[in-house]
């Protein structure tokens, strides 16, 4: 739950590894749609959300065959259901980390998970 411009937004995430291909998208699409079907019990949230947003985050890219399908699906979800989604591939994740100045936090998270950091400077 985040607060932005006097709105309480419930951000719901689906995380995948690798590139999003058509078979991977078919599974992820259903999972993203399901996020909006389930009500979160009020005891789990500090306040009632004003709206919900769905995120698909993955450390790859969209396959060229699935990208136009996803583009049309995003438009249809918005038009038919008023649902908002953000598809964050690897490049967008890197941009987000850099724009928010989260390099220190990323380094700490990687160290906690015992993931080696390769310094190429």
Kindly report the backbone phi and psi dihedral angles of residue 67, in degrees, each rounded to the nearest multiple of 5, phi listed first. -55, -45
Per-residue confidence band for 48, with pLDDT thresholds at 50, 70 and 90? confident
The rounded distance, in Å, linking the Cα atoms of 6 and 89 is 28
Burial 62-86 (b: 16+ CB within 10 A, else e): bbeebeeebeebbeebeeeeebbbe
Q: What average pLDDT does range 8-17 have in this prediction?
A: 94
> In the predicted model, is pLDDT for residue 22 greater than 90?
yes
The per-residue pLDDT for range 56-104, each reduced to its tens digit, is 999 999 999 999 999 999 999 999 999 999 999 999 999 989 999 999 9
Dihedral through CA 108, CA 99, CA 92, CA 39, nearest 10? Answer: 80
- For residues 91 and 61, give the distance between their C-alpha atoms in angstroms, rounded to a whole number: 8
Determine what percent of the chain is predicted with pLDDT higher than 70: 99
Mean predicted confidence (pLDDT) in 15-29: 96
Is the pLDDT reported for residue 118 higher than 90?
no
């Amino acid at each position: 739950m985040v607060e932005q411009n006097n709105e309480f937004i419930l951000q719901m995430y689906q995380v995948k590894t690798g590139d999003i291909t058509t078979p991977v998208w078919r599974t992820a699409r259903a999972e993203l749609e399901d996020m909006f079907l389930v009500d979160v019990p009020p005891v789990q949230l500090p306040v009632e959300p004003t709206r919900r947003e769905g995120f698909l985050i993955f450390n790859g890219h969209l396959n060229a065959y699935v990208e136009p399908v996803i583009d049309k699906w995003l438009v249809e979800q918005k038009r038919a259901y008023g649902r908002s989604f953000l598809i964050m591939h690897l490049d967008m994740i890197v941009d987000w980390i850099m724009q928010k100045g989260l390099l220190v936090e990323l380094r700490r998270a990687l160290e906690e998970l015992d993931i080696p950091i390769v310094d190429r400077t």
